Structure 1
């Protein structure tokens, strides 16, 4: 699953992003909304040191999130593209 998502989030005074709720369409086009129970920032906007010692700029934030679907907790990844102001979800 790789879909565009609507995300409600909080921006802290330190520039961090906290995802709170996500909404995305299923295969039939029906929208579903889920509260994020827990999250972890995998990578965030800034410099990334590549294995060949080259520094690259990243404009992608990646979050690992836990949501409840039919009372079962699952893990999803949220991707925020800071250049396009766009969110995507991957399972």
Structure 2
């Protein structure tokens, strides 16, 4: 169910929950029963947590714009061939 906003002349703005795509241009006001006109508003995108929105945006972007690694992110010092060589003094 999706909330749709309607404007009643007596009650002001009211929300009516209906299945997606089932909104009508006019409906009866749930408070007073008078005719209410549909008001077109932006979708409620602030209902999800900001961290979840960022994770979904990153996942969606990686589908068509994957991040490609072009270099090693952290340069490493070469490891000695034998573990005991790491204890030898360095000059």
* TM-score, reference length from structure 1: 0.23
Q: Please state which structure has a larger fraction of its residues in helix.
A: 2
**Relative CO higher for 1 or 2, CA cutoff 8 Å, sep ≥ 6?**
1
TM-score normalised by structure 2 residue count: 0.23
